[in-house]
Structure 1
Amino acid sequence: MPASAASRAPREGAAAVLRFGRLAAMGTVAALILMAGVWASWGTAQHAMFTKGRERGAMTVTRCAGDVCTGPYTPTSGGSKARDRVEIERTVAVKRGQTYAVAVKPGSSAVVRTGPSGFLYAWVPFGGALLLASVVVAGGLGLSRLGWVLGGSGLALITAAFVVL
């Protein structure tokens, strides 16, 4: 075996190991970003999506202070009781004097929006994770088509949430 072929083999093996390490590391980072997005969204999304068996009703926002808006709750589902004061997270979409369809988080006086607007708004953190993961997938893994799909999906989710709100 010529000397040049013998010296090339260890370099090719090292390059393969480094390539595998990069793919494994970037794949792990992308997976962690997506899992974190789901985790961040799930706390609100579960109440907005699965309203069967939960207290559902309407909330009229009467006061906003800091990060929270409050108002009375009028039930629309069986087994739900009227409340003088419930709290909803203050966002740009929650306005004083408006009435929103909501579901009560079990064991608290906190409510989340339901319907298409509540569903989409709950998944906005996952949309951001899709955007961030698209950069990692396209740049770190070299899968540009998949990166475009992830980025486009995240952008569509975030845009739809703000259009519906």
Structure 2
Amino acid sequence: MPSAVVSSQGAFVALRFGRLAAMGVVAALILIAGVWASWSSAQYVMLTKGRESGTIKVAGCGDDTCAGPYTPISAGSQARERVVIEHSAAVRDGETYTVVVKPGGSEVVRSGPAGVLYSWVPLGGALLLASVVVAGGLGRTRVAWAMAGAGGALITAAFAVV
């Protein structure tokens, strides 16, 4: 009989390790996806050296994008009749925003503190989602609360600045 108890405990340990490993991988993938989604626009806003920067006066908005004339601020930047910016809660028709031009096109992203915070919103959402996995799947409630607090603070700060 002792071997049945030992194998039962071994199976329990293996299942527990498997659950922790799986939930750890899921949480890591959620966070990696959040960083990946954020970095696609954050790189242009945060690493501005050598990039064209200026302002856009939003002349009109469609379903997904807004457009308007671009006025350069940085040296070497050229004025453009029409550039495109993502249509979101952060962009309103008739307003002027400081922007950075994405290389090789006419697409721009907001710059400054509002642009930085807005570009990292996907990471804030990923932190909130991963905190549920960390609390429920890994049983690390303190870490989960810290992650949820950081994600909530990031999203709240972006909302306040925008």
Do structure 1's residue 143 and structure 2's residue 140 form an aligned pair?
Answer: yes
| Corresponding position of 2:63 | 66
| Corresponding position of 1:56 | 53
| Corresponding position of 1:128 | 125
Aligned partner of 2:126: which letter?
A: A
| Corresponding position of 2:23 | 26
Report runs of 4+ in structure 1 exceeding 3 Å deviation: none
Cα offsets for 1:92-151 (capped at 9, x unmatched):
121111110000000010000001100000010110000000000010000000000011
- How far the C-alpha of 1:7 sits from its partner, in A, is 2.3
Aligned partner of 1:32: which letter?
A: L
Do structure 1's residue 101 and structure 2's residue 98 form an aligned pair?
Answer: yes
Unmatched tracts of structure 2, length 5 or more: none
Distance (Å, rounded) in 1 between the aligned partners of 2:3 and 2:94: 79
Unmatched tracts of structure 1, length 5 or more: none
Distance (Å, rounded) in 1 between the aligned partners of 2:76 and 2:145: 46
Cα offsets for 1:12-49 (capped at 9, x unmatched):
11111001100100000000000000111111110111
Do structure 1's residue 158 and structure 2's residue 155 form an aligned pair?
Answer: yes
Relative to the length of structure 2, the TM-score reads 0.98
Distance (Å, rounded) in 2 between the aligned partners of 1:62 and 1:7: 75
- How far the C-alpha of 1:6 sits from its partner, in A, is 3.1
Query: For residues 86-97 of structure 1, what are the structure 2 equivalents within 5 Å?
Result: 86-97=83-94
| Corresponding position of 1:12 | 9
| Corresponding position of 2:80 | 83
Relative to the length of structure 1, the TM-score reads 0.96
Aligned partner of 1:66: which letter?
A: D
**Paired positions, count:** 162
Identity of paired residues, percent? Answer: 63
Larger Rg: 1
Distance (Å, rounded) in 1 between the aligned partners of 2:129 and 2:152: 11
